[in-house]
Amino acid sequence: MKTIITLSAALLTSTGVMGAATQPDTAKILDEVVIVEPTAKAPVPLLPLDVKIVTSDIIDKSTESNVLPVLQNRIPGMFVTERGLAGYGVSGGGAGSVSIRGVGGGNKVLFLIDGQPQWAGVFGHSLPDTYVTNDVQRVEVVSGPSSLLYGSGAMGGSVNLITRRATEEGFAGSARAMAGSYGTQKYGLKGGWHHKGLRAFAAASYERSDGNRRGMGYWLANQYASLSYNFSSHWEAGANVMLTETKADNPGSVYREAPLGMWAKQFRTTTSIFVKNRYDISSGGIQAYYNWGKHDIDDGLDGDNKPRTFLFHSKDYNMGVTLYQTVNPWQGNDLSAGVDFKHWGGKAYNTDKATKEKDPIIDRHVNEIAGYVMMQQALFRDIVSLNAGVRLEHSSQFGNEWVPQAGFILRPYSSGRMKFSYGKGFRSPNIRELYMYPPHNPELQPEKMNNLEVELRQWLLDGRLNAGLALYYINGDNLIQTMRVDDRMKNVNTGKFINKGFELDVTYTINNEWEVTANYAYLHTDKRIVGAPKNKLFAEVSYTPGNWEFSIDTMGIWGLNTEQSKEDYCLLNARCAYTIAWQAPLTLFVKGENLTAAKYQINYGFPMPKATVMAGVEWKF
């Protein structure tokens, strides 16, 4: 079996893959030896962009039930909007909007599960409540356009959630339970079985909370299962399925005269089947996926504070097939090519609460087909690596879109690196913007941006100190905005934007017990952007003597624009855990968040909770 890339103690650069020299990257983002096999398309580290991998060690130690808070801490330029303890929600008052380097909002950062694009086909938004840590083995984050591999939606970056698989021979698993402030309870159970070529894995989780405000209750149930079989050392086939159901209540803004009384219920299904091949000079495969969702929403009170007479419903789908292959025609060269087909859409309608009569709103779909090719060449004994690629995507809605990408990496010595990259990103308009509600405009064209980036990275003290600096310049065009045209509001392509800034990250492993990690991001924009702070700082100190684990971290945010205000805040969090070293280890843990009870809000009108405490137990068997 061909190993695609070995990463240890840090992330490999975008060109050190299959024939190029390896080097560590952002320490403790990837802090364990991981064999990264192709999940879909070309291996993500081939991209000449800023790529970081957050491993299961980081995810599990966080004891978070959703992966977004973990990523926000570990990825310097990423920010996630929140509304409290009661999940992220959808529709009015929903949160979970992700921006990378100020590019986000309307699904400009693409989320994927094992390479499958995830979004609600009718509205085009991501599905933040479904990204549960119980199912996730690691996360690959690209800060910068990923449209070469993934097409529309990856304009500002991509977040690929790689699901868990059975790795140990025989059976292994874990169970976790925790409870804390505001009636919050969280439970998780997962286990895998591996015997020869057969791997099976299953996971289930449940969580609920009363929320930090009255009328803000929330619950979520998630189940995941996968099965795969290696027919030989070269061929593998498998399938997986994920089910998520959640319901969240929304009292609306605290500035309302009366509680909104809104609720939203989601049911989501993600399924896929795949066949992969791995040879010494070639690897790839084919994957087919089908994602389906059903949303039921009561929008609560109307503008006159009277109960609405109808419920909103939507059913959406997102299905496709991707074929990909990477070959090594000669030493130091990687040539990746692939074909994608996507069919997505759905329908929405209202039903009268009294008569149950349906009132159709929309029933539409969009087809997209694309081909891409990308090549990497290592030169001068891997001192220089060149990367270039292009994608042609055809949409039934807007026609053709060319996506170029290029970059290089210079390694003048073994402990340092300089990387330069150029990439184009785009986002095609979603069905809501094209066809739904009065502002719709079926003539909309894709949003576009060009990204230039330079990264410098240095390893010192035998690799125990890892520091990086990234500078970027983003030039965006064709933004979709709602403006008044001919005496009516209309979605139109208008406006340019320029985002520029820099990011710093450093990790220092002092010894086997002490470690310090920190990152900082500065963002300058020529437009006012909601949900993208000007300054973001995260720092953590961890101490692990024997069976104990202690950590304390802080998150500082300055210059965050909400819908109608500007926020500055600083949070202090801490965690303590003790593992009883039985044959099946038992870990007791407690954590506190916002320990200084800072007052702040991220979604305007939704104050975040003050100090919260959670305690729990995890048993590994």
Beta-bridge mates of residue 388: 375, 406
Over residues 360-376, the mean pLDDT reads: 94
Q: Are 209 and 85 in contact (CB under 8 A)?
A: yes
Torsion, Cα of 72, 576, 217, 259 (10° steps): -70
**Cβ–Cβ < 8 Å for 254, 292:** no
pLDDT for the residue 40: 55
What is residue 173's predicted lDDT score, i.e. its pLDDT?
Answer: 94
Angle in degrees, CA 207, 109, 165, rounded to 5: 50
Chain centre distance of CA 283:
25
Residue 1 has what pLDDT? 34
- Is 603 in contact with 86 (CB distance < 8 Å)? no
Q: Which residue has the higher pLDDT, 540 or 28?
A: 540
**Confidence grade of residue 43 (pLDDT, cut at 50, 70, 90):** low
CA–centroid distance for 107 within its chain: 11
CA atoms within 13 Å, Cβ hemisphere of 525: 20
Mean pLDDT value across residues 610-618:
97
Contact 352, 437 (CB under 8 A): no
pLDDT, residue 27, reads 33
Instruction: Give every CB contact of residue 309 below 8 A, 6+ residues apart in sequence.
Output: 352, 353, 354
Rounded to an integer, the average pLDDT of 448-472 is: 95
pLDDT per position as a tens digit, 185-239? 999 999 999 999 999 999 999 999 999 999 999 999 999 999 999 999 999 999 9
Residue 477 pLDDT > 70: yes
Beta-bridged to residue 424, according to DSSP, are 450
Tens-place pLDDT, residues 95-143: 889 999 999 876 899 999 998 899 888 888 888 999 999 999 999 999 9
* pLDDT at residue 398, as a whole number: 87
Write down the pLDDT at residue 45: 57
User: What pLDDT was estimated at residue 582?
Assistant: 85
Predicted confidence (pLDDT) at residue 6 exceeds the cutoff of 50: no
Give me the mean pLDDT over the 369-380 stretch: 94
Note the pLDDT tens digit of each residue in 552-577.
999 999 999 998 889 999 999 999 99
Which class for 372: exposed (0-12), middle (13-18), buried (19 or more C-beta within 10 A)?
buried
Amino acid at 120: A
Residue 42: predicted pLDDT: 64
Domains and CATH numbers, the chain: 5-620 (2.40.170.20)
